[in-house]
Structures are given as structure tokens and as C-alpha cells.
Structure 1
Amino acid sequence: MEITIRRAFLRAAATFACICLAAPTGAVPAGASVVPSGVKANASGPSGTARELDRAIQEILENAGVPGVIAGVWIPGQLNYVRAFGVADKDDCSPIRSDMNMRIGSETKTFTVTALLQLVDRGKVGLDDPISRYVPGVPDGEHITLRQLANMRSGLFPYTADQDWLRAFHEDPHRQWKPRELLRFAFAHENQFAPGTQFDYSNTNTVLLGLVVEKVTHRSLERAISDMITRPSDLNHTFLPKAAEFPRPYPHGYTEETATGAEADATDWNPSWGWAAGAMISNLDDLRSWAENVATGKLLTPATQAERLQALPTPAPGDAYGLGIDINHGWIGHAGSLPGYQSLTIYLPDLKATVVVLANTDIKSNGENPSTLFGRAITRIISPDNVYGAAPDQDDVD
């Protein structure tokens, strides 16, 4: 408890110092809303809703110690809300802006699996093909299907839980990883359960699917995603980086060092360890478009999209996971997290509503991810019958 209180005090003190130092120079303090010229900043629609969203987001920003957040909420004919609160850089207090590029972590899975499903539509692969047909050396690979990899029911051990990998990552967060290096850490362990019998969220699954896409398309995964998804969808600021490249403008990302608990700047850490499961970069406008695209299956046949959305329950209340996609209290999409950054991109078909949240920290508050806190607060206002991330006693659904 003492350590927790001390960390909270230090983070609060840093934020306070930033505000004090910024004031004389005219920089915008944490909590202010900043949207660059040319970007829609007003929350057209009911002004009361916009004010409620402003208050809810700022409250989380302050209470959870989040440096900065970009939020977009769109409901056709009702609401067009774009805001950026807080700072992009805690050293110079420069404000975060809604046009900034962000690392989107596990939202990458929606792109990798969409590429796979396009190959299904083209007759190049089958969802019930064994992974051994495409990637040799997978434990029990002749019984693990592409479908089970996509819906997180393979039983393969997650390499990110391997102690040797964790030690290597924290010793050198700038290291460039190759997919097969990552898989060796996973395959050093026995499988956790028989394929298809349980749910376990594992990056190992999506890394394998990335290798399948490369093998079948005869292209690098970054090229395949560009050719098959981002270019046809006009997602001009969305890509899978080869290493730690990060096009400007971008905010600094803040994480918590495992060994000391101190805050660290993870902006230039190499995300290659996430590869097909978590390394992509995007921005607010692209993710707004992608939210509806992936939730409604614009790049897939109706039959394949229907299979994608055949989600099975996860241990989290009100949550189910399909093929590289999450359905949480009716909201379809995915969250993302990696050191320094968190994201959430979700779509509610009944309202045709889209929510995108991008934060420049992955440090939890009372055990919860910032993206979940923002998602819950926003959806409680705009869709009280569908509250993202709500626990049973928080959910307004009967």
C-alpha cells in the first residue's frame, strides 16, 4: 500500500509541476482540450452530452493520472465529438492533439485476422485448416486450426508470459525481434489445454496467423496489410512498422518499469515483439473509419463476417471473443495496449455509434486499464443500455 501511495503521489506531483512550469510559457495545461486547425473540434449535437463527456473524460484523466487522451465519439445525426485532453510530453508540457499518430497495440489483431479472412474468401486457406499445414514445429499443430488461433482457443502458451522473454524484453526494450524468436519462447512450454476447450488470450496465436498470411500471399505482413486492407480502405496513417519508427506528430508514451515501479518514457521502445499481434500505428480519423469497417465486414463476404462474429464468452462478464475481434456489451471492436500507449476502437450497430480512445500511458489505475475506464465512462453516457467494460453491478442492462 505504501508503494502504491508513493507512486500516486509522484505521478500527481509530476503533473502538478508540469502545469506550473507550463503556465508562464503559454503552454496548455493538463485537462485542456486541444484540436488543431482543420480538425473538427466541436461536439455537434446535444450540448449537454458534450459537457457530460468533457467532465467524465477529464475526471478519469485526473484521477487515473493519465498524461493525455484523444477521444472521438460519433453517432450519425446526433453527435460528432472530438477532443484531446492533457499533454503529449510531460517534460515540456506540449499539449496532445487529435491529429497525432499513436501505437495501437492489440488492435493490430483486427488487421491481421482480417487479412486471414480475406484469404478465406479467396479460397486460399480454410478456417479449419491445421496450423501445421502452414507453419512447422507448432506443438500439437496438426490439431490446432486457424479458427482456434483466431478466437484464442488454441491452448498454446503465450510467449509474453515466459520469464526468459520478459527478462530479455526488460533488459533491452529496443531489441528487434523476429516472429520465430518469439514463438520459440512459447513452444518451450507445454500447451495449456486441448485445442478448442478453453479461452486464453495469447499473442502467440496471432503471430502464427501473421506467418500464415506471409506464406500464402508471398509478401511481408506489412505489405500484405497495406495491399489488402489499409490502401483499399484509405487508411493513410495506419501501418505495421518494421522496427521502432514512429511518424510525427506523436505523443510520448509513459509506462511503469517492472523492477522499480518508476515511470519510464517508452516512446522509442521497439514494438516488434508484438508484430502481427500488437505493433501497428494509426490515428483517430483512420480508426474511426476502421471501427465501422471491421465491425460490419466491409472487406469480407457476409458469410465470412458472420463466422467472424460467432463469438464465444470469455471469463469477463458481458464479453465474448470472435475471430480477432471482441464483442463487449454489444460493442464490436478491440482494445490495444503496449508499454506507453492504450487504445480502444469500438462500434455499436444498433446506434451506428463509434468510439475511439487513444491514451499515452498503459499504467493501470486501481487495477483497470485507462482504455477501459474511458470506454466505460463514455458509453455510460451515450449508450446506457450498452456500457463497455461494465461489471455486473455496473451494467444497466437487465
Structure 2
Amino acid sequence: MSSGHAARRALQAGAAALLLLLTGVATAPAAPAPAPALPPASAAPAAVREGLDPATVARLDAAVTATMKEHGIPGAIIGLWMPGRGDYVKSFGAADLKAGTPMKSDLHMRIGSVTKTFTVTALLQLVDQGRVRLYDPVSAYLAGVPGGDRITLRQLAAMRSGLYDYTGDHRWLDSLRADPHRSYTPRQLLGYAFSHPPDFAPGARWQYSNTNTVLLGLVIEKISGQPLHAFLQQHVFAPLKLTSTSLPTGSAFPDPHAQGYTAFTPDGAITTATTWNPSWAWAAGAAVSDLDDLHTWVPALVDGRLLKPATQAQRLRTGSVGVPGVSYGLGIAEVNGWLGHNGELPGYETVAAGLPQEKATLVVLVNSDVDRGGSYSTALAKAVTQVVTPDHLWDLPSPAQVGENQH
């Protein structure tokens, strides 16, 4: 994988997050050298809640532990809620390999591009209030956006603006790799993006770009008069009592939390990214949450609990991303019937999605992104859905496959 493409892994979740959902993901760019294997951690499950039938529980335990062993995943938290069938909530492996601390289901985790679901919800709340319109050009709110008079807020939320993704910029990659504790402002991030020409005309096609969501964060601040983290707290987190969810303004990471392991280092060596500053991801991927909050958030995201029905309908008008079974709406993806998002950034990976047909919710939290071009969270989500919803797999292509489909 090229460093530029790896960079897009830096935060996407879009196409492999769907980029990363589909790729994008949000995982920091790939390291220049292959990473050594992480020390082995026991994947034996620590039971929290089991409401499914014993046979299904046994199959899930086996699928998760086998996937963790195959990929060398240090720790994971799996939450599955299926009304009428039961729940499955377990933690596996280690939260801290050095200390030997087991993973627990109540730990805070960095959730990468799942942040986009919150940011776009905030924008759509402003739409419901009549303070912005989805078809307004971004230039009506922010100056200096290349072609901003032709790029609508809807195109930004749907990943169809054509604006270059700053996480693919080599100068940005070098600066982050050199000092991962550095703080970035949204305008600095946009400076990297706008130094490149747009990749295509607005609306011409779909392409995951974190630049889009950073711009939406600035629009929300401009219209609301509040910092993005404060607006989200007041209008998204508080109404749903998401007490463990926040958008940090620096490297703050609430306790208790898991250590996050990454190979995004100058020499490719594995290290902990736990205290790294996620300001480079901001509105596109800097949020922190936990299993219980995501269990609350996913159904609210899927049913539009914080939005008017017509606005939610707009959100769920998904469009093709060039990969069978996968489409993208407004800050939300559909993967073979599952609605939600995934996210990756140095040290952490997440999947948070719901299956409306069964009113099911799936949350996968992992404390490593040392996945050599794949996705730990996708591998685990696929393993779980193969057992419980084989007709609806959470299955995303690798970044390389996404690239093949996008060009």
C-alpha cells in the first residue's frame, strides 16, 4: 500500500472504513516497514452478558477467538443485541499487554470515523431548525473553499464533494509521524487539503474524504456560535444520556481506557498511541465513547431519533460507492443491510451498526490498528454476523480493493 493510500486509512472509515468505511477508515497512514507481531494475548472471553441460546454463544465464542488468534488482535469488546433472540456482550484479550490487564466492557475507546455519525447528525439538526439547507453551497458559510460555490452541504455529508483528503498529503503524514502529540487546528488541516486540486467535479462520484467532515464541523460552529464539542454535548450526547461520549479538544482520554497499539511510527515499530493527540481527526474522527453509549447511539442513529422523519429519510438516501452491497448516505453507511459506520485511527478500531430488519445492534471495539492493510474490526464484525445474520454480513473490502473500485 502506498503511503498516500495508507494515509487515507488514517481516518477513513468510508470505503474500507467504508473508506474506511470502505477505506478511509481513519487509521493513521501505514508505517513504512512491516510491523512485527504483537505479543500474544489470551483471547479467552470474559463473560458479561449472554442471552442467546447456548449453541449460538458457543459458535460466537469460537468465531471471535479464532479471528483474534488468526489476526493477532490484542483485545476486543463485542456487543450484540438482538431483541427476541438475546444479547451477547463479552470482552476478550488484553487492555494492556505490558501490565497483563484484561479487556473489560466498560472501558473508554477512541472510535475514529464513527465520529462522523455525530457530526452529520448535528448538521441535520440545524437543517431541522431551518438554520441551514442541505443544498446550500458551503461558500455561503465558509470562505476559501476551492469551488465552494458549487459544493453543497449535502455533497460534503455524502462524500461527493471531490475535495482532496488531507490525510493523503505527504507533508501532513510526515508531520504527524514526527510528532503524534502535536495539535492541529481545523484550518491547518484544510490548508493541507486545499494545497491540492479537487479530485473531481462536485457530485461527479463518491470518494471518502475527511476534509468534507472537517468543513461540516466548521459550518456547525459558524451557524451555532458554539465550539463543535459543546454543540455535540448539548444537542447530541446529552439528550441521549451518552455520558461516556465526548469530542476531546486535545489528547484527553477519560478513565478507564484501554491502551491502543499502532505501528504508525517512523521505523514501523509497534508502540502505544493511547495519549496521541487526535486533533488531526477532529470532526471526522476524534470522539471517545464506550460500549454502553454506542449501544444507545446506534438505534438512535438508525431510527433518526434526534431528527425529523423527512430529514432522516434524506440521510438514508444512500448512493453506490462502487462496491457491491455497500452504499453511503449522509454520514452513514449501509453494508448488506447494516446501517452505521466504522472507524480507525492509530491504536483503535470500531464498528457500530444496526440491522433494522431484526432491530439488532452490533458494536465492535478493538485496541489496535496493526492490521497490515486489513481491518481488525471488520474481521470481527464479519465473524459475528456470519454466525447470527449470515444473509447480512458486515463485510468491507480491503483499502486496495476499494482503490480498484474507485479508479
> What is the deviation of 1:62?
1.0
User: C-alpha separation between the residues in 1 aligned to 2:175 and 2:34?
Assistant: 25
Which of 374, 377, 384 lines up with 1:378 in the alignment? 384
Mapped partners of 2:302, 2:320: distance in 1: 18
Task: Look up the equivalent residue of 1:388 and give its one-letter code.
Answer: W
Aligned to 2:46: 34
The structure 2 residue matched to 1:111, chosen from 115, 118, 125, is 118
- Give the letter for the 1:160 counterpart: T
CA distance in 2 between partners of 1:125 and 1:387 (Å): 36
In the TM superposition, residue 7 of structure 1 has moved relative to its aligned partner by 5.8
The letter of the residue matching 1:157 is: Y
Q: Are the aligned partners of 1:70 and 1:98 in contact in 2 as well (CA < 8 Å)?
A: yes
SS at match of 2:235: helix
1:185-204 to 2 correspondence within 5 Å? Answer: 185-204=192-211
SS at match of 1:333: strand
Deviations 1:92-118 (A, max 9, x none): 111010000000000000000000000
Residue type of the alignment partner of 2:296: S
Q: Output the CA distance in 1 between the equivalents of 2:308 and 2:396.
A: 32
User: Which of 224, 227, 232 is 1:220 aligned to?
Assistant: 227
Runs of 4+ in 1 over 6 A off after TM superposition: none
Deviations 1:132-154 (A, max 9, x none): 01110000000000000000000
Quote how far apart the aligned CAs of 1:275 are: 0.2
Give the length in aligned residue pairs.
Answer: 366
How far apart, CA to CA, are the structure 1 residues paired with 2:50 and 2:59? 11
How far apart are 1:318 and its partner, in Å? 1.0
> In 2, Cα distance between the equivalents of 1:59 and 1:289?
28
What pairs up with 1:18-167 in 2 under 5 angstroms? Answer: 30-34=42-46, 41-167=48-174
Percent identity between the aligned chains? Answer: 48
In the alignment, what sits opposite 2:355?
Answer: 348
Q: Provide the rounded CA distance (Å) in 1 between the counterparts of 2:264 and 2:214.
A: 25
TM-score (norm 1): 0.90
Q: Quick check: 2:338–2:392 contact (8 Å CA) kept in 1?
A: yes
Q: Output the CA distance in 2 between the equivalents of 1:359 and 1:103.
A: 9
In the alignment, which residue of structure 2 is the partner of 1:324?
A: 331
Per-residue deviation, residues 28-49 of structure 1 (Å, max 9, x unmatched) = x6212235xxxxx131121111
Q: Which amino acid aligns with 2:46?
A: V
CA contact (8 A) 2:264 2:346 kept: no
What amino acid is aligned across from residue 339 of structure 2 in structure 1?
I
TM-score, normalised to structure 2, is 0.88
Deviations 1:349-390 (A, max 9, x none): 00000100000011225x320011011111111111111116
Question: In the TM superposition, what whole-angstrom CA distance separates every residue of 1:55-80 from its partner, at most 9, and x where no partner exists?
Answer: 11111111111110000001012121
Amino acid at match of 1:206: T
**Greater Cα shift, 222-231 or 259-268:** 259-268
CA-to-aligned-CA distance 1:204-226 (integer Å, 9 cap, x gap): 00000000110111000000001
Task: Report what 2:11 is aligned to.
Answer: none
Q: What's the RMSD between the two structures over aligned residues?
A: 1.5
Whole-angstrom CA distance in 2 between matches of 1:357 and 1:132: 38
1:378 is paired with a residue whose SS is helix
